[in-house]
Structure 1
Amino acid sequence: MDETSGEPHVLATDRALELIREIQQDHPHILFHQSGGCCDGSSPMCYPANEFMIGDHDVKLGEVGGVPVYISASQFEAWKHTQLVIDVVPGRGGMFSLDNGREMRFLTRSRLFGGGEAR
């Protein structure tokens, strides 16, 4: 939760929640890690929970559909006044993300806390 607004740091659209449930049919325990922009841009990457090591400096933003969402501490510092909204669009997911090959991919949208939209 953002300390000033009381709003959650991360939300998911209904379409994202549907894709999460679809992925959980094959991989019941998953997590998201907000990519830092290297190989897969700034997509939220979806991994089997037992195959991704959460780092000492990762920050848990919250949960969407019961799935934890993490971000690196340095990214969190830059985005701490921003609410992330996990959405779904047509396309291919990140190379190692579980949405890859489903013809739909997760996408992060954002808005500033207090109602201001950020792009």
Structure 2
Amino acid sequence: MMIHRLSATSEALKVIEMLKNEYGELVFNQSGGCCDGTAPMCYEKKDFHVPSRNVKLGTVGGCDFFIDPDQFEYFRYSQIILDAKEEKSAFGNSFSLEIDEGYQFITRSRIFSDEENRLLKEQEGN
């Protein structure tokens, strides 16, 4: 059984595909900063330099997803679930690509079971 630190809802995958069709390759970054409220931000891959200290959490919809190392430590024992919701009121209020399309990416988390943590530890060679 393969344990994934990152997953996505069907709604998030739908929005990712829509954005990929419009913009090409994408990348996600969830920073720990105050300005973006720790929301997942979606950028054109060619236009975004991932901070070297950030941790690659996984790939979702064919896009790399990075997270601030402090957040990674906080969520080390959790699965991050990328979701998307319709959000017309945020239009133009973010640098994340989905906002201008009337959506907003959000993350939820689920704590791994003891068994999942054991398997994840084996999987990652720790």
TM-score when normalising by structure 1: 0.84
SS at match of 2:70: helix
Q: How many residues align?
A: 111
Q: Let me know the Cα RMSD of the aligned residues.
A: 1.9
What's the counterpart of residue 98 of structure 1?
Answer: 97
SS at match of 1:100: helix
User: Does residue 7 of structure 1 match 2:6?
Assistant: no
TM-score when normalising by structure 2: 0.80
Percent of aligned pairs sharing the same letter: 37
Alpha-carbon distance, 1:65 to partner: 1.0
Which protein is richer in helix relative to its size? 2
Alpha-carbon distance, 1:15 to partner: 0.4
What's the counterpart of residue 17 of structure 1?
Answer: 13
Amino acid at match of 2:81: V
Distance in 2 of aligned mates of 1:69 and 1:105 = 16
Which protein is richer in strand relative to its size? 1
Q: Is the 8 A contact 2:32 2:70 kept in 1?
A: no
Distance in 2 of aligned mates of 1:56 and 1:30 = 17
User: Does residue 27 of structure 1 match 2:26?
Assistant: no
Structure 1: state its 5+ residue gaps: none
